[in-house]
Structure 1
Amino acid sequence: MNGEKIDMSESMRKGIYILPNLFTTGSLFAGFYGMVATMNGDFKTAALWILVSSIFDGLDGKVARLTGTSSKFGVEYDSLADVVSFCVAPALLTYKWALQPFGRLGWLAAFLFVACGALRLARFNVQVNTVESKRFVGLPTPAAASMVSAMVLLFYHFGWPSSYKKLAILVLIYLLAFLMVSNFRYYSFKDPELIKRQPFAFLVLAVLLLVVIAAEPVVMLFLIFICYTFSGIVGFLMTWPRRRRLEKAIHNKHTKEEP
């Protein structure tokens, strides 16, 4: 602990990198403004600002890696900003938008989302050097917050009655809280192969996807986030037989080696 404090102090004396931390600050501002909009009863605007926050959050890490400006300060600042933008802001939004009529059960559900999000971030920080960079362990907090925002925007888009949203958001909050602290693997989109040359068909598919998103942005955003949310569960189920065979083979090997 003392060693980490000394390293951080030395890094602070040398200065901090402005550009990536500006993007992190933008993410923090968007998340905070989302809470302000929630308190003013403008839930649609709050959902949009949480989505804006997730865009800034995705850019700060990429900017830091591309410019070689990654730092311990940036990592810690990013985690603190994520707690506000992707834990507290969406939890407050869900509580004011749908969970408040449940009373104590409502705010406890919102708190569970905050707690699981914070735990997810803490686990990520301690496992960042030991886990495969192409996969996240547990649903990332920006994805969970974006899923909440997409749900809110979908209800406004179709004008569904408020009685539906209470049960839907209650189930969603518990599901997202569980997925954030689960061991399901989620694609991180940090694969270097993504920025290398790809077949021409990939460009055509990307253009078609943009056209579809532009035609129905709210519906497509919801579908994208719901697919990503369940991708960890689907991946776990698809690889379960292979993992079981591998575990059985390892067990049989150890059994044969025993005298």
Structure 2
Amino acid sequence: MQKFAAWSVHVFTASGLLAAFMGLLAVSVGDFRQAMLWILVALVIDGVDGTLARMARVREVLPRVSGMTIDYVIDFFSYAILPAYLFYEAFAEMAYGLRLGCCFAMLLSAALYYGIEGMVSADGKHFVGFPVMWNMVVYVLVFVVPELPPVAILLAVLAFAAMHFMPILFAYPSRGGRWWALTLLATVAFLAAAVMNVWYYPEPSPFWRGVCLVTTLYYGVLAAVDTYSAAGARVPEGRAEQP
């Protein structure tokens, strides 16, 4: 029974790839709203599978099966490749070279970030550097602020790509940390806004757009406080020197 539960968790984790594949199919036919909804489904699966894995004690029950490796494979597709493809198709009116450059920046920074050791802080409550969450960056660009000029979009993409390699601490919402209750509330509000902004696409709702921008600002403030406060999580030694 324990092995069944452990395998069930791994299958649940792997189902995130199925959701992402459905998103890929939706992008290929130009249904960006459905594609984003599938991306959100994959995000929710990724957000809860770790808790289920700990409950089922998968590392003890199935020591030769690496849930982390399964997770990395799925995450790179759903958090980097699929969002880059969505970005490429959604901004079809952008100059080809500029659009391709943005996609390349997303993919290269994500690939290099996954190769760096110490992606998680010493206390396990923070990502070190902006995590590979191009799904949410692309969501904001496509569904919340689609009117941004191409140069602003390029600068935003390059900024997030650069932040992958900076010793900035970004909170891992499900693992506690500073202002945890408020962070969980902001996360729920952000996801609710994501669903509603996708629902109202292509005309963003002023209210839900505001919720998205306010919660995004909160994450930025929290990252700044955690990074520069002496009480914040410690960046692992050597991480700041990584390229």
TM-score calculated relative to the size of structure 2: 0.69
Unaligned stretches of 5+ in structure 2?
A: 197-206, 233-243
Give the deviation of 1:104 after TM superposition: 2.5
Unaligned stretches of 5+ in structure 1?
A: 1-13, 243-259
1:38 aligns with 2:31: no
Kindly provide the amino acid, as one letter, of the partner of residue 149 in structure 1: Y
Structure 1 residues 175, 192: closer, same or farther in 2, change over 3 A?
closer
Kindly provide the amino acid, as one letter, of the partner of residue 139 in structure 1: F
Q: 2:44 aligns with which of 55, 58, 61?
A: 55
Given that residues 24 and 78 in structure 1 are in contact (C-alpha distance below 8 angstroms), is that contact kept between their aligned partners in structure 2? yes
Partner of 2:163: 179
Alignment of 1:217-236 (within 5 A): 217-229=208-220, 231-233=222-224, 235-236=226-227
**Cα deviation 1:8-34 (Å, max 9, x = unaligned):** xxxxxx999323222322221222222
Structure 1 residues 106, 18: closer, same or farther in 2, change over 3 A?
same
Given that residues 125 and 176 in structure 2 are in contact (C-alpha distance below 8 angstroms), is that contact kept between their aligned partners in structure 1? no
Q: Secondary structure at the match of 2:91?
A: helix
CA RMSD of aligned residues (A): 3.6
Partner of 2:57: 68
**Cα deviation 1:55-83 (Å, max 9, x = unaligned):** 11111112112221145521111001011
Percent identity at matched positions?
25
More helix by share: 1
Kindly provide the amino acid, as one letter, of the partner of residue 35 in structure 1: L
Structure 1 residues 177, 192: closer, same or farther in 2, change over 3 A?
closer
Structure 2: how far apart are the matches of 1:62 and 1:192?
Answer: 13
Partner of 1:6: none
Partner of 1:132: 123
Q: 1:96 aligns with which of 89, 108, 119?
A: 89
Q: 2:139 aligns with which of 126, 138, 149?
A: 149
Give the deviation of 1:226 after TM superposition: 4.6
| Number of residue equivalences | 208
Structure 1: how far apart are the matches of 2:58 and 2:140?
Answer: 32
Partner of 2:79: 86
**Cα deviation 1:123-182 (Å, max 9, x = unaligned):** 2xx33687320121012223x422321332214xxxx65xx3534432222122112232
Q: Secondary structure at the match of 1:186?
A: strand
1:109 aligns with 2:102: yes
Structure 2: how far apart are the matches of 1:85 and 1:172?
Answer: 20
Structure 1 residues 43, 171: closer, same or farther in 2, change over 3 A?
farther
TM-score calculated relative to the size of structure 1: 0.66
The higher radius of gyration belongs to 1
Given that residues 98 and 166 in structure 1 are in contact (C-alpha distance below 8 angstroms), is that contact kept between their aligned partners in structure 2? no
